Amino acid sequence: LMIDAPTPSLLSPESDDKAREAFATTALPRRLPRRLVKWGCLLLTLLALFAVLDAQRIGPFCDDGASALPPSGGSINLILMRHAQSENNELPWWNMVLLQMKRDPMLTKQGTAEAEAAAAALTALGVAPHLVLSSYLMRAMETAAVAFGTRVTVAPFLSEHKYFDSDFLSPGSCPLPRDEQRAALAGAGFDVDEQFDWSYVGGSNDAVGPGEWDAFVAWLWEHPEVQQLYAAHGDETTVAVVTHGNYLRLGVLPCGYSHPKNTQAYAVRLQKPAASTLAEGEADVREVTVLYEPRPG
């Protein structure tokens, strides 16, 4: 009876180690494409999701109701502007993928230059709003102060949309505490007490409210200063609103408008509601025109 005994290794222990290293080295390139495929599939899934969201604004599912109609009854002028370049805007795209974004970023030097260019263009057009409103995020406050050169009132319901309503995925949409904002704005050269007014949003950013256009419009018409301005100027009342790109594109502008560029501004009409409660379509912006578009480059 013959029994096959295990064949002894012909390699020394040192040779075995080298063989394992060689195998690991050759196996790594085989594993790497699989990982790239997995990450690629994840990225394509995210892009497809964003495409679905875009389709709601520019595709067959888009329905803006009354926005295509002229105002009926009284109305006011709104100037809608996206903020200038922020610290997050200048980061490479992979920083967003890797969630390496700053919380409540400020303007870059280029962003300040963009706001100054917008100020010159709006002045040349004779734009002089009676009231300037801004979201409670610093990049919008800075842009409003520079572009319109007057006191900025911080308003509720103008903050940037959060991806999947998540602070973790949208750090740029999360404000710093008020005292840190004041210190940062002062460090950037602003006279905080003279140039910014937080009186309509209370003493803490926690109670300002999420970005929601209908809620903002309802708040706007209840704003005592807006009521006084409308009593004095009627349909010629002009209010500037500095907010954020996704907020404008997904929640305010009619179908077909692309994502606003830095400091891009639109002139629109906002209908005065017939009653204290907004009726359907009364928050829609009407007669939309591009007032200012920054030069490329």
Is the C-alpha dihedral spanning 204, 205, 206, 212 positive or negative? positive
pLDDT at 69: 66
∠ CA 95-250-54, rounded to 5°? 75
Indicate yes or no: pTM above 0.85: no
Question: CA 88 to CA 95: how far, in whole Å?
Answer: 9
Q: What is the DSSP letter of 107?
A: B
Span 105-142, pLDDT tens digits:
999 999 999 999 999 999 999 999 999 999 999 999 99
pLDDT at 168: 47
**Which residues in the chain land under pLDDT 50?**
11, 55-56, 58-60, 97-98, 164, 168
pLDDT at 47: 62
pLDDT at 164: 47
Is the C-alpha dihedral spanning 41, 47, 51, 53 positive or negative? positive
Alpha helices in 125-171 (DSSP H): 138-148
